[in-house]
Amino acid sequence: MIRLSKVKTDPIENLKRHAEAISEAVKQAIKPDRITVEYPRERRRYPECFRGFIVFDREKCISCFRCAQICPANAIQMGYFDRAYPGIDYAKCIFCHFCVDSCPTGALNTSKVHDVAFKSMDEMRLSAKQITKVPEIVREEKQTVEYYVDRKVWTLVRKKELDSLEVPPKPVKVKERKAACTEPESCLGCRLCANVCPQNAIKVEKCEISIDEEVTGTGCVLQIQTDLCTGCGLCVRQCPMQILTLEEVGE
C-alpha cells in the first residue's frame, strides 16, 4: 500500500501569488493592454476592402452572367424576373469576391458585415431582392479598436467611436458596348449566340432547301438589334468561331 504525502504549501508564497493576480486584474480593468478584441462589446475596425456581405444594385445590373460564371464555389445562381439577376447561396460562398471584382458596372459591392445569422440552410440562399441591402444590424459595441504594432509589441488602440459597416460603392466608369460580328461570312448559323442572349437581341436566318428543292432564306445572316443589346458579352464567349466582339459606342 502506497501512502501519498500531503503537499506542503507556503502560506506567504500563496499570499504573494494571490496579490499578483489581483494586481494584474486591477491593472487590466483600469488600463488594459490585451490584444484580444472583446467582441461584441467592441468591434475591430475593418479596412475599406474588407470582404463581407455582398450588396446588389439592381439598377446597374446588365444581366451579363459574369458573376455566376466566375464564382469558384458555384454560389451564385441567376434568377429571372423582368430579366436575369444574381442570387447568392451563403452556404457555399467563400467570400472571395471574384464576383464583385469582375462586375463591369459595379452592381455588386462589398460591406463590412460578416456575422449574419441564419435559422436554417434554406435561408442562406438569398434572392436578388434580398441582397439589395445590408441585413438588419443589431450593434452592441460601444467602441472601435485597431491593432497597433510597435516593433515586436502588439497593442490595441481603443476609440470611443463606431465604425461604419457599409462601404460606399466604388465609382465605376462604364463605357457603353454593343455586340458586333467581325466576320459575318464565317458564321456557321449554329444559333448558340441567339440561344444564350438574355435580351433576344440576336437573330440568325438560315438558308434551307426543301425536298422539292425550294430555297427559303438568304443564307446564314446574323442580325444584332443594338437597341436591345446590353453589352453583356454572353454571345462573345459562346461563339465557337470567335467572330463576335464587343464594340464601344457613343463618345
Assess whether 144 and 89 both reside in one domain. yes
Assess whether 150 and 49 both reside in one domain. yes
pLDDT of residue 147: 81
Count of structural domains, the chain: 2
pLDDT in tens, the chain (251 residues): 666 666 677 888 888 889 999 998 888 777 766 778 888 888 888 888 889 999 999 988 988 888 998 999 999 998 887 778 999 999 999 999 999 988 888 899 988 888 888 999 999 999 999 999 888 888 888 888 888 777 777 777 888 888 888 777 666 666 778 888 888 888 888 889 988 888 889 988 766 655 665 655 555 678 889 888 888 888 888 899 888 988 888 65
212: which 3 cell numbers?
422539292
Q: Would you say residue 136 lies in a domain?
A: yes
Is the overall model pTM greater than 0.75, yes or no? Answer: no
Expressed as residue numbers, the domain containing 148 is 42-159
Assess whether 71 and 138 both reside in one domain. yes
Assess whether 70 and 146 both reside in one domain. yes
Choosing from 110, 128, 159, the residue where a domain stops is 159
CATH number at residue 220: 3.30.70.3270
The rounded distance, in Å, linking the Cα atoms of 93 and 124 is 10
The rounded distance, in Å, linking the Cα atoms of 220 and 230 is 24
Assess whether 60 and 155 both reside in one domain. yes
146 closest CA partner among 30, 33, 35: 35
pLDDT of residue 117: 87
Assess whether 195 and 127 both reside in one domain. no
Q: Would you say residue 236 lies in a domain?
A: yes
